[in-house]
Amino acid sequence: MACPEAMGGGGASIYEQSLVYEELGWGSSGLALSLVVSQIPFLALSAHASADLQDQYLRPYLEDRQAEFIGCYPVTEPAHGSDLFFIGNPVHGGRSEWSLARLNYETNAYLDERRNEWVINGQKAQWITNTSIATHAFVLAALQAGGSAGFLVPLSTAGVERGVALEKLGQREMNQAGISFKDVRIPYDHMLIGPGDYQRFISNAFGNAYILIGAVCVGIARAALEEAVAFCKARVQGGARLVEHQDVQRRLMDLFAEVELMRAYIRSLARYHSDAAKTRLMHYSAVARGHVSKQAFKVCSDALDLFGHVGFSKGVLIEKLYRDARMTRMMGGAGTVAQLRAAQEFFS
């Protein structure tokens, strides 16, 4: 959907993508977010690879109709989580120059000049989306020569090891597992992002991903509202349907207003970012995603209250939506820390 039309992709603007992701999020936020992540290696190829490399990987991906190409994006590590926002970034209130200089991925790469290959070593966290089912990764790592970079790694390469999928609180349709690299060798041109482009890449990648995560949150909240309305229309208690109580109507209209506001917020941001002439504003996306994910959880929680004891039962959709909404607060970095990163841009 997001790859340029000239290459055979859908050429959808971030605004058009956000409309699709709201619908997908309404149906299954886990599947929707799995798709957001799956495209990352291929989007990096579409923007940063040679024509030869695009022929090798991107064309077959764009022609794939059987999900034979699935991407993952290993960034976080056992000892690096939210701080990924600050890697290679010179401004971070509260941290000394000394600690900033030491901040980088433990996963590292060096160039074997004799064979013209990058050699990658290191371990990523247990929480890398799609990992146990993915075919290709876009791995962020430290260069032994200095700086950070992004590498395309076909996961059939020798030395790649993957864990089994985690059992988790919500979004269980989305696969999460660990991944490690032991002397993994890839050709020189598989480094798609070098240290010079790294900050710009991170800003754009998170700026766009946050809009899509926000759209998925709108979908979750809308589903919760619809479930609550349907339940309140059907449930008879004390001789009246719940929806006949004026206070229940007020609570439903509060949820309705919240969903409308979330949607308007994300759509206006997506519309702004769809205009290629405008500067990408990462802090707007980070703050929007932080706010909207918090509101999605609040809408699900308030909707769940309307179900009485029924809402706590397994197999009732509102219970799943509540768990799913909770997960969106942490994906792509803790919401609170993403806002600290946004503050850097806002106040600099």
Q: Which two tokens stand for residue 124?
A: 């990523």
Strand partners, 174: none
Residue 216 makes contact with ligand FAD by CB under 6 A:
no
Residue 32 makes contact with ligand FAD by CB under 6 A:
no
Residue 278 backbone phi and psi in degrees, to 5? -85, 150
Other C-beta atoms within 10 Å of 100: how many?
17
* Cβ partners under 8 Å of residue 335, min gap 6: 289, 290, 293, 294, 329
Q: Quick one: 111 or 334, whose CB is closer to ligand FAD?
A: 334
Q: Quick one: 124 or 190, whose CB is closer to ligand FAD?
A: 124
Minimum CB–partner distance for residue 106 and ligand FAD (Å): 13
Residue 38 makes contact with ligand FAD by CB under 6 A:
no
* Nearest residue to 152 (alpha-carbon basis) of 130, 131, 137: 137
* Nearest residue to 141 (alpha-carbon basis) of 117, 162, 165, 119: 119
Which one of 73, 118, 231, 297 is in contact with ligand FAD (CB under 6 A)?
Answer: 73
Which one of 38, 108, 129, 293 is in contact with ligand FAD (CB under 6 A)?
Answer: 129
Residue 285 makes contact with ligand FAD by CB under 6 A:
no
Question: Binding marks (x or -) toward ligand FAD, 171..190, rule CB under 6 A?
Answer: x----x--------------
Q: Quick one: 281 or 330, whose CB is closer to ligand FAD?
A: 330
Please count the CA atoms within 13 angstroms of the CA of 333 that sit on its side-chain side: 26
Tokens 């600099």, residue?
348
Question: Binding marks (x or -) toward ligand FAD, 88..127, rule CB under 6 A?
Answer: -------------------------------------x-x
Q: Which two tokens stand for residue 345?
A: 């841009």
Other C-beta atoms within 10 Å of 154: how many?
15
Residue 75 makes contact with ligand FAD by CB under 6 A:
yes
Quote the CA–CA distance of 177 and 159 in Å, as a whole number.
16
Q: Quick one: 304 or 331, whose CB is closer to ligand FAD?
A: 331
Residue 327 makes contact with ligand FAD by CB under 6 A:
yes
Quote the CA–CA distance of 143 and 125 in Å, as a whole number.
19
Which one of 82, 121, 204, 274 is in contact with ligand FAD (CB under 6 A)?
Answer: 82
Q: Quick one: 214 or 333, whose CB is closer to ligand FAD?
A: 333
Q: Which two tokens stand for residue 295?
A: 């509101």
Residues that bind ligand FAD (CB under 6 A): 37, 73-76, 81-82, 125, 127-129, 171, 176, 327, 330-334, 336-337, 340
